[in-house]
């Protein structure tokens, strides 16, 4: 049975691959076993955040020292821009090694796939959700996971619209869901998330319509995390769950935050992983927690727990940036450090103003 390894590597900048190079050099990471690298980079997380593409290019150059191009193409390189507040830039390198591990399953299983490029007119619409749903279902089958309840997180990098992509569609007589490039990020994230919801049976098939995407906040996935970027035209999808066909010491669980300070569900998930603590996670236990991945967004009502917030009124800074830093602070206070993966923009990812959280830990 295969087993999963997760390595968290600090980054001094989007082009910093020294940690990866050292881990490969000393044998801690096997390049041929890498299935995905998830990274937080210090850009603005918006349309013009080129730190994501810079990080992907840097990682590909380092991996090219060890792997042929076709092997690198099979690795999901998912970069999420924005490290507001004290969020620490870092990368999560995920390996799937083929040999058995002494610790029997079920255990953390991770698989990835890359979808076809979607057309500009498909973005933010039912067609995009259908592409994602089909891809997620295929990865689940590959991992030997038949029960959707055993899936705890699906991380997706999805495309966005640029003016060039909008113009290309119009030249063919097609119309896009929006011509606003920033708005297209939210629509793409939302459609991708509803694709996960369809694959996991979280929403009714008939409910996912073009009109519902980006508007019907009652429709959401409790395990989707989607991030949009200009650096791709398809989807890079990483599925994480517990599989009886996998071995090893790693486990994954998830929680759903109702808002950016709703840490108690996350504390409960930590307890299920054997990391229960009445307050902040003790320093002695922090090494067992390999990764925390979360989504964050500003409540659309303009209020949180009855009090007014101004995240949606700031014309200088996107609300996704406010929400990312805000939720990251709450989560960091719980686990004792800020090298955590918090992504802004949670359209159809958890309830309005909240978002899913996944935790990966040693048994």
Active site members? 157, 227
Is 319 marked as a binding-site residue? no
At residue 189, the 3 state secondary structure works out as: helix
CA-CA distance, 190 to 176, in Å (whole number)? 15
Cis link prior to 284 (omega < 30° from 0)? Answer: no
Is 300 marked as a binding-site residue? no
Is 297 marked as a binding-site residue? yes
* Pair type for strands 76-81 and 341-344: unpaired
Q: For residue 272, with 0-12 CB atoms within 10 Å meaning exposed, 13-18 middle and 19 or more buried, which class applies?
A: middle
CA-CA distance, 346 to 142, in Å (whole number)? 27
List beta partners, residue 313: none
Is 247 marked as a binding-site residue? no
Is 229 marked as a binding-site residue? no
Is 227 marked as a binding-site residue? yes
Is 231 marked as a binding-site residue? no
Is 346 marked as a binding-site residue? yes
What is the strand order of the sheet 355-362 is part of? Answer: 250-257, 355-362, 289-296, 341-344
Is 165 marked as a binding-site residue? no
Is 124 marked as a binding-site residue? no
Give the C-alpha distances (Å, rounded to integers) separating 86 from 150, 204, 295, 332: 32, 39, 16, 9
Q: Which of 314, 293, 259, 241 is nearest to 80 (CA)?
A: 293
Is 344 marked as a binding-site residue? yes
Cis link prior to 355 (omega < 30° from 0)? Answer: no
CA-CA distance, 20 to 37, in Å (whole number)? 10
Is 201 marked as a binding-site residue? no
Residues 6+ away with beta carbon under 8 Å from 259:
299, 304, 305, 353, 354
Six-digit token string for 130: 């259908």
Six-digit token string for 295: 């989504």
Is 189 marked as a binding-site residue? yes
Residue list, annotated binding site for substrate: 52, 80-81, 189, 227-228, 324, 343-344
Annotated binding-site residues read 52, 80-81, 189, 227-228, 297, 324, 343-344, 346, 349-351, 354
- Provide the annotated binding site for Mg(2+): 297, 346, 349-351, 354
């Amino acid at each position: 049975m295969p087993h999963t390894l997760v390595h968290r590597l600090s980054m001094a900048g989007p082009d910093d691959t020294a940690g990866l190079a050292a881990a490969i050099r000393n044998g801690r990471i096997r390049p041929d076993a890498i299935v995905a690298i998830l990274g937080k980079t210090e850009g603005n997380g918006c349309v013009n955040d080129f730190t994501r593409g810079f990080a992907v290019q840097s990682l590909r150059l380092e991996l090219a020292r060890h792997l042929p191009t076709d092997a690198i193409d099979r690795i999901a390189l998912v970069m999420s821009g924005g490290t507001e507040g004290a969020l620490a830039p870092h990368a999560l390198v995920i390996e799937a090694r083929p040999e058995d591990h002494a610790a029997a399953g079920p255990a953390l299983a991770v698989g990835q796939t890359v979808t076809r490029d979607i057309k500009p007119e498909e973005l933010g619409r039912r067609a995009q959700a259908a592409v994602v749903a089909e891809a997620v279902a295929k990865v689940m089958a590959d991992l030997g996971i038949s029960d959707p309840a055993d899936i705890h997180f699906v991380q997706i990098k999805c495309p966005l619209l640029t003016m060039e992509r909008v113009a290309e569609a119009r030249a063919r007589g097609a119309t896009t869901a929006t011509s606003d490039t920033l708005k297209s990020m939210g629509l793409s994230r939302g459609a991708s998330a509803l694709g996960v919801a369809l694959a996991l049976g979280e929403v009714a098939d008939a409910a996912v319509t073009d009109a519902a995407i980006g508007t019907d906040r009652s429709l959401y996935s409790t395990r989707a995390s989607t991030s949009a970027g200009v650096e791709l035209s398809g989807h890079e999808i990483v599925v994480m769950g517990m599989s009886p066909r996998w071995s090893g010491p790693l486990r994954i669980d998830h929680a759903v935050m109702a808002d950016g300070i709703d840490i108690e569900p996350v504390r409960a998930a930590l307890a299920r992983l054997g990391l229960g603590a009445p307050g902040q996670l003790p320093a002695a236990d922090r090494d067992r927690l390999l990764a925390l991945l979360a989504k964050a967004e500003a409540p659309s009502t303009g209020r949180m727990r009855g009090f007014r917030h101004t995240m949606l009124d700031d014309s200088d800074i996107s609300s996704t940036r406010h929400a990312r830093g805000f939720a990251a602070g709450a989560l960091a206070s719980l686990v004792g450090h800020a090298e955590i993966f918090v992504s802004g923009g949670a359209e159809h990812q958890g309830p309005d103003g909240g978002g899913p959280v996944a935790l990966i830990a040693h048994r």
